[in-house]
Structure 1
């Protein structure tokens, strides 16, 4: 495993940083991370466990995160305006981020992959399945919603006291630890020292608050996918925490209800995180879906 950089990716011709785990000849699983979060938010141990199921695992930095291309010379992102229906500050949409991801598959020489998306990454994965169905062997949507603003709503009362992340490194680390106490998983308390260490690596990797806001505006501007999800024909799994304060479990339930034949797994004690204690269960669920996806692909 070593980090690599793909150049001239997708229609936008961006750069994307990525890493691969496992046997490069094994079925590929593409991990798509959430808003403002670089690929290292998919823990290496989780990636290794997933690769242990005879899968090739690929994680990468989305545009506007980590070491992939950032878009600073675009309109100032205005999330409140977007939530009110004014999308003029959106420099791109989830369709563009989906096209980036498909472009990475092209660079890697992969005709299709099993998609696993978390939070905003789940929305990107849904968009790929809708707009590039021939590139998707299976779809796992985690802690995500359909784009319908009536479901999957954050717990604004719980999040209100956090404020914006500070710009300095130590301030950002301290803020992340505080935030995780609110947004993490009450049934699986984290190792705060390990959490702080990863927050420092996230910051050093290219922390970009406005990039995260641009991604958030893109998600809102992309609208409600519910009706289109009803036409999907792909093996699908929806995983959601019963205690998710960032994306209420109603978002996961709505996603599973919209996708024909989707399996819904709601986990008590799970919030908006990937607790170490759940890595074996999550990796097994994803691997089982991938096996069904491989079988379906062979039948086609």
Structure 2
């Protein structure tokens, strides 16, 4: 099972309890850092400017990006090739859900089953951030990350607190942020990834061609990617199943981990090549 993480978030952000639950279901788990984040390669010569972010937010035709979500899907396929894996069950969170959708669209024979979590189809009218999120998003994405370690940790905690639901665990998130900063102090990858999201095309029409078992999971408290994004994804993919949690925001709450893992396993069991 290939796990694809979201915007500016490293492979270490996957909750250990979810990984353990998926392993218990019989999956061999593959995690990786998307390009421009964590220990993956960086585009150090492409430093984004404030105007680049503003142009991307204004519209995809104005966005100038060094790469698109489709290129990040190519990265994932390259990883499968390197590992000698012909096909895998694919689970993506947030931007990772977008990348996973691109992967399923462009490489349908490589995806046994698809699970898109707290994501959207790329339709700008669906899955938009809540109005209350815009000041925080502007502050997070437009201002440079603090250069001192404690300031960076505090900024990260504040960002996670803004998007998380009632099960937010500050101690757990702090530990993840501290490790993430140690692995990758680069402040620009998150901005380049954001521009890539805004520059990438709407996937709605192409999602209608998917035929692999598909599960869509979303939280009703999500303010970063509104629940309409998950609903639109489920409507677009024929035969997909939609699972929504009333106490889940833009996070993977510990009290729902068992249900999420069970639902992913049930969806994978519908595949023509099931879990070994």
Structure 2 unaligned regions, length at least 5: none
Q: 1:229 to 1:244 in 2, by over 3 A?
A: same
Tell me whether 1:84 sits opposite 2:58 in the alignment: yes
User: How many residues matched?
Assistant: 266
In structure 1, what is the equivalent of residue 30 of structure 2?
58
In structure 1, what is the equivalent of residue 3 of structure 2?
31
> How far apart in 1 are the matches of 2:101 and 2:136?
31
Q: Secondary structure at the match of 1:209?
A: coil
In structure 2, what is the equivalent of residue 220 of structure 1?
198
Tell me whether 1:203 sits opposite 2:181 in the alignment: yes
- Is 1:151–1:251's contact at 8 Å kept on the other side of the alignment? yes
> How far apart in 2 are the matches of 1:62 and 1:290?
23
- Aligned CA RMSD, in angstroms, stands at 1.6
Which of 70, 87, 97 aligns to 2:72? It is 97
Deviation per residue, 1:10-36 (Å, 9 max, x gap): xxxxxxxxxxxxxxxxxxx10000011
Q: 1:140 to 1:161 in 2, by over 3 A?
A: closer
- Is 1:241–1:249's contact at 8 Å kept on the other side of the alignment? yes
Q: CA deviation at 1:65?
A: 0.8
Tell me whether 1:70 sits opposite 2:42 in the alignment: yes
Q: 1:63 to 1:279 in 2, by over 3 A?
A: same
Tell me whether 1:129 sits opposite 2:104 in the alignment: yes
Q: 1:231 to 1:172 in 2, by over 3 A?
A: same
Deviation per residue, 1:168-226 (Å, 9 max, x gap): 2211211222223221013x2x2211211111111111043321111111111111110
Q: CA deviation at 1:239?
A: 0.1
In structure 2, what is the equivalent of residue 177 of structure 1?
157
Range moving further from structure 2, 74-83 or 217-226 = 74-83
Deviation per residue, 1:14-60 (Å, 9 max, x gap): xxxxxxxxxxxxxxx10000011010011223211111101111111
> How far apart in 2 are the matches of 1:157 and 1:60?
32
TM-score (norm. length: structure 1): 0.85
In structure 1, what is the equivalent of residue 273 of structure 2?
297
Tell me whether 1:282 sits opposite 2:260 in the alignment: yes
User: After the TM superposition, which residues 130-209 of structure 1 pair with which residues of structure 2 at under 5 Å, given as runs?
Assistant: 130-161=105-136, 163-164=139-140, 165-186=145-166, 188=167, 190-209=168-187
In structure 2, what is the equivalent of residue 239 of structure 1?
217
Comparing both structures, which one devotes a greater share of its residues to strand? 1
Q: Secondary structure at the match of 2:76?
A: helix
Q: 1:285 to 1:207 in 2, by over 3 A?
A: farther
Q: Secondary structure at the match of 1:34?
A: coil
Tell me whether 1:111 sits opposite 2:125 in the alignment: no
TM-score (norm. length: structure 2): 0.92
- Is 1:36–1:208's contact at 8 Å kept on the other side of the alignment? no
